[in-house]
Structure 1
Amino acid sequence: MDALTAYLPPSDKGLLPYYLFIVGIVSFGNSVQNLVTLHYTRRIYNGLFVPNRAPSDASGDSIDKLVPASATGKDAEKGQDQVTPLAARVFGVWTMLAGLVRIYTSHDVGNRALYQLSIITHAVAAVHFSSELLVFKTMHITGPQLFPLAAGFGGTVWMVLQYAHYVQ
């Protein structure tokens, strides 16, 4: 048991280090699944998309060249999944990096630079998932989407509120 507790954050620093450690470990698990299968990523970024008839940019590089397919319309059968192996690998590597920063911060929670980087990883996650939900419409609020949204926003708020307590 002592061998296992050696990997855990110090117990005298409150709950935030344990939260950071847990979301860091979960991030590593999510990274592995992104590198192995698209199944779970498709559960977060759900829905099919069809070509936009009037994109803002006529080039193939337009970010709005696809729009959500209607659930009942004829275009649903022609819809494309936006979760590609490349997108999953990029997302997996980002998630692994964010998890690594959070794990390091959990062990040295008073380190100003690590603490700030952890806040940034949470804020970037919150902005990313919010934009996918509200701007790009690639997410719907269901079970699989709640954890990343809650972790992104909750972690950001918690760390900002506790900044003076942990960072001297």
Structure 2
Amino acid sequence: MNSFLPQHEGWLPSWLLLVSVISVGNTIQAYITTKNTREVYMRTGQEITAFTSRVFGTWTFVSAIVRLYAAYNISNPQIYELALVVYAIAWFHFFSEWLVFGTAAWGRGLAGPILISTGSLVWMLSQWGFYVE
């Protein structure tokens, strides 16, 4: 099993792998049902359709692939930067939907993406010098 895990020091590569795997699961859920997407965007009056759920799932899958590449190529500055940008876009999206556009409400569905994107951004920014030479 260890041969499948990222072979870099520290916990960040494993974290990126874990978030990637979870994101693939979220993608599958978004294609099967709108339930989880509704938990994020649960303001009344906002319609979540099967189409919007699949669009969200597609974005989640693209993000998962970028994070997966970063987990295994964490010392590559371009891939590290790309993963940072993906987290920054996710962070901006979730915060703006919550605080600017009002389409998301704080709750179980929004807490996970906010905490993961914020924590991952801070962690990656603070570890740049450790992983990228």
- TM-score normalised over the length of structure 1: 0.76
- 2:29 equivalent in structure 1: 33
Q: Give the one of 82, 92, 95 matched to 1:130.
A: 95
Provide the rounded CA distance (Å) in 2 between the counterparts of 1:8 and 1:33. Answer: 25
* Equivalent residue, structure 1, for 2:106: 141
How many angstroms apart in 2 are the aligned matches of 1:131 and 1:158?
Answer: 21
CA distance in 2, matches of 1:113, 1:88: 30
The unaligned stretches of length 5 or more in structure 2 are: none
Cα deviations across residues 74-109 of structure 1 (Å, max 9, x unaligned)?
xxxxxxx42112211111111101101111111111
**Matched residue of 1:82: which SS?**
coil
Equivalent residue, structure 2, for 1:151: 116
**1:18 Cα deviation after fit:** 0.8
Give me the whole-angstrom Cα distance separating, in 2, the residues matched to 1:138 and 1:93: 19
Task: Write the distance in 2 (CA, Å) between the matches of 1:20 and 1:153.
Answer: 13
1:103 to 2:68 alignment: yes
Deviations, residues 86-141 of structure 1 (Å, cap 9, x unaligned): 21111111110110111111111101111011101110110000001001111221
Where structure 1 has 5 or more consecutive residues not aligned to the other structure, the ranges are 50-80
Separation in 1, partners of 2:95, 2:23: 18
Aligned residues: 133
Q: CA deviation at 1:22?
A: 0.6
Aligned to 1:90: 55
Q: Percent identity?
A: 35
2:10 is matched with which residue? Answer: 14
Question: What root-mean-square deviation, in Å, do the aligned CA atoms of Structure 1 and Structure 2 show?
Answer: 1.1
- 1:141 partner letter: W
Give structure 1 regions of 4+ aligned residues with deviation exceeding 4 angstroms: none
TM-score (norm 2): 0.95
